[in-house]
Structure 1
Amino acid sequence: MSSKNMASGLDPASTAVVCVECQNGVLGPDSILPALAAESKELVRNLGRLLPAVRKAGVRVVHATFEGIRPDADPGSAPLWKATARSREWHPGHPATQVLPDLFDETDVVIPRRHGLSPTRGTDLSPNLRTLGIRTVLLTGVSLNVALPATALDLGQDGFRLLIVRDAVGASTPEYGEQVLRNTMSMLGRLTTVDDVVTALAETVVQA
């Protein structure tokens, strides 16, 4: 494997970390997807290293959260829709919709949605990133099963340079997640790691 740092050359002013659904109701102890939450503990620890480092370097942190489906919406019959149907009781401000406390800072931007499985489709994520002057997105969060491939595809089509932080994304199961990283996500962006991002940003600060 090449030792090249795939995160080299990051410009903090035009870079954002997008954390998808790193919230209490998805990755917390009362998750509506308990298997995913159980398999994402290392992901959360890695984000706990990444986010303070990127904030210190001047990189924006953006949380794309899910505030639950509308009470009058038909979730459909697929297993994932049935799981999200348990979010009917959620609402803006509900504890389940809040970012995991260890991953949140008051300087972060939170962009919620109340529909669909994609954080980008029909939401304000891309427009807000453009307003912030973002050109490069470091994608993190969950999951590689559905939401992250959809997000990567949409952000790429919207013109953003995309890096997927492979040890800060998760799936159910981890073995399947590795297959998605290797066969799908690597076609939609560059794969990098928490350590490579931290190193690249440290080098940027020294050069400045």
Structure 2
Amino acid sequence: MTNGDDSSAATAVLCVECQNGVLGPDAVLPALGADSTILVDTLARLLCTARSSGIQVIHATHEGNVGARIPGTARLWRSLGPATAHWEHGTPETQVVSALFDTVDLVVPRHHGLFPTLDTELIPVLRGHGIATVVLVGVSLNVALPFTAGHLSQSGFRVVVPRDAVAGTPPEYAEMALRHSIAMVADLTTTDKLITRWSSR
């Protein structure tokens, strides 16, 4: 992590799509779910320390697309559109994985798009809470996280990514994405380093 203001009041942990329909037993992307088996335990440790240190935890969830049409031409939409057609607010698939949720957390859902910051409330919510540094975690390094990291960085936020608190598939690609893409727009660190830093305050 580079120098800068990472006080608890200016920092948030943003969990991208850490929900039952993505990381649960009935994940719509089984390969990603299989490659993310230890991710939930790592995230639980990180989020517990964040909350006890006064750092806001925000969950960016996907609650299905509004309207019946597949919303884009991307191959991902063609596979996920039918699989998520029944998702809506309150369905089990859209709920944050229980091990990662606390009532003090914020949940900012979206109903469109491949990542959670474009044309949604998320960036205004971050700014409204005075957030300067976003610790970005969750899934996936294939699509959502690179777009989100780039958009946050371009929007003026400092982005920090603990490399063991994110996942993609296959794992060897995820490592390459961290090294060659995420590292261009974010500071890479580890969960243990963040926990040690926050615990020492």
Identity over the aligned pairs, expressed in percent? 51
Under a length normalisation based on structure 1, what TM-score does the superposition of the two structures give? 0.92
Which of 67, 82, 86 is matched with 1:89 structurally?
A: 86
Instruction: Mark the CA change 1:76 to 1:15 in structure 2 (over 3 Å): closer, same or farther.
Output: closer
CA displacement at 1:13 relative to structure 2: 1.0
CA displacement at 1:39 relative to structure 2: 0.6
1:184 aligns with 2:178: no
**Alignment partner, residue 16 of structure 1:** 12
CA displacement at 1:158 relative to structure 2: 1.0
* Maintained 8 Å contact 1:61/1:108: yes
* Maintained 8 Å contact 1:10/1:200: no
Backbone CA RMSD of aligned residues: 1.4
Deviation larger for 79-88 or 51-60: 79-88
Which of 189, 193, 196 is matched with 2:190 structurally?
A: 193
Following superposition of structure 1 onto structure 2, how do residues 155-170 of structure 1 map, counting pairs within 5 Å?
Answer: 155-170=152-167
* Maintained 8 Å contact 1:70/1:88: no
1:135 aligns with 2:132: yes
Tell me the SS of whatever aligns to 1:191.
strand
Unaligned runs of 5+ in 1: 1-5
1:29 aligns with 2:28: no
1:68 aligns with 2:64: yes
Aligned length: 199
Which of 141, 145, 163 is matched with 2:142 structurally?
A: 145
**1:190 counterpart letter in structure 2:** D
**Alignment partner, residue 3 of structure 1:** none
CA displacement at 1:188 relative to structure 2: 0.4
* Maintained 8 Å contact 1:141/1:169: yes
**1:178 counterpart letter in structure 2:** E
> After TM superposition, which residue ranges in structure 1, 4 or more long, deviate above 6 angstroms?
none
Instruction: Mark the CA change 1:132 to 1:184 in structure 2 (over 3 Å): closer, same or farther.
Output: same
Counterparts of 1:114 and 1:200, CA distance in 2: 35
* Maintained 8 Å contact 1:68/1:90: yes
Counterparts of 1:10 and 1:120, CA distance in 2: 21
* Maintained 8 Å contact 2:62/2:94: yes
CA displacement at 1:78 relative to structure 2: 4.1
**Alignment partner, residue 105 of structure 2:** 108
Instruction: Mark the CA change 1:90 to 1:186 in structure 2 (over 3 Å): closer, same or farther.
Output: same
**1:62 counterpart letter in structure 2:** I
CA displacement at 1:7 relative to structure 2: 7.1
* Maintained 8 Å contact 1:71/1:88: no
Counterparts of 2:41 and 2:84, CA distance in 1: 25
Counterparts of 1:79 and 1:165, CA distance in 2: 28
**Alignment partner, residue 55 of structure 2:** 59
Under a length normalisation based on structure 2, what TM-score does the superposition of the two structures give? 0.95
